[in-house]
Amino acid sequence: MASSKVASIWRYPVKSMMGEELNACEITEQGLLGDRAYGIIDNQTGKLANAKNPQKWPNMFQYRANFIDPPQKDDAIPQVRITFPDGRSISSTDEDKNELLSNSFNRDVHLSTASSKDVQFEGYIPEEIEELDNKGTIFTRTSPKDTFFDIDMVHILTTSTINYLKRLAPESRIEARRFRPNIIIEVPDTEAFIENDWVGKTLTIGSVQLKISQETKRCVMTTLAQGVLPKDPNVLRTIVRKNAGSFGVYASVVKPGTVSIGDRIDIH
């Protein structure tokens, strides 16, 4: 692993919207500083809007979010700019933001920051993927306390796994952004689902230590259109058939610090 290094870093200021690529980022106990700092809440259900339920939120990936000023540790979360599918943009400080968001989503919603209150989100299990259980049903999960995350604080993917899936599904467009990772690790000279072997181990990146908690079980989000990437159920179908639905890993933060592109990685 001595030759492995950080290839790219991604942060998503608003849950389920397109995010921003970074050269470096501070990592706190709650993951990348500013990651999923905001979410869209459905006022009717109190649940978090997210692309896992495309029946209710079909266009989440057509929205883009970026911080106007970079977040600073121990400071309030800075304002975020949200760009709508039609190119208009709003700021999180605009008085009419919730009205504009509600009109755009065609549902009564408001923009929120994470709180200690339990927040739930829904996911849809697609009917067209034969290997999945409970096809065509909706499930409900609760985000970790004080976050808008799905499971754990940092989502990690390797170039090895991305390249392996490209070979397994040559007719599909396999790009990292389909899977919304925080950190992509370049692992040279390997082509496999190598993250499977990392569960329970500790990843050291400079001064940062991340404990790999579990494999990332993929969902319908990986099949959705994103920017120029087309809708493609074959992406998830291949992951289910070839790796029991896992693609990448989640990690908790053992030791905070700063991660930069090019940082060397050690795993033990």
pLDDT tens, per residue, the chain with 268 residues = 448 999 999 999 999 999 999 999 999 999 999 999 999 999 999 999 999 999 999 999 999 999 999 999 989 999 999 999 999 999 999 999 999 999 999 999 999 998 777 899 999 998 888 888 888 899 999 999 889 999 899 999 999 999 999 999 999 999 999 999 999 999 988 889 999 999 999 999 989 999 999 999 999 999 999 888 999 999 999 999 999 999 999 999 999 999 999 999 999 9
pLDDT score, position 61: 94
pLDDT score, position 83: 97
- Helix, strand or coil for residue 164? helix
Decide: 226 and 177 in contact? Cβ < 8 Å.
yes
State the CB neighbour count (10 A cutoff) for residue 70: 13
- Could you report how far apart the first and last alpha carbons of the chain are, in Å? 9
pLDDT score, position 228: 85
Pairwise CA distance, residues 39 & 262, whole Å = 30
pLDDT score, position 2: 47
Q: Tell the burial category of 154 from Cβ atoms under 10 Å away from its Cβ (0-12, 13-18, 19+).
A: buried
User: Which amino acid belongs to residue 24?
Assistant: A
CA atoms within 13 A on the CB side of 146: 5
Q: What is the pTM of this model?
A: 0.94
pLDDT score, position 168: 97
pLDDT score, position 127: 86
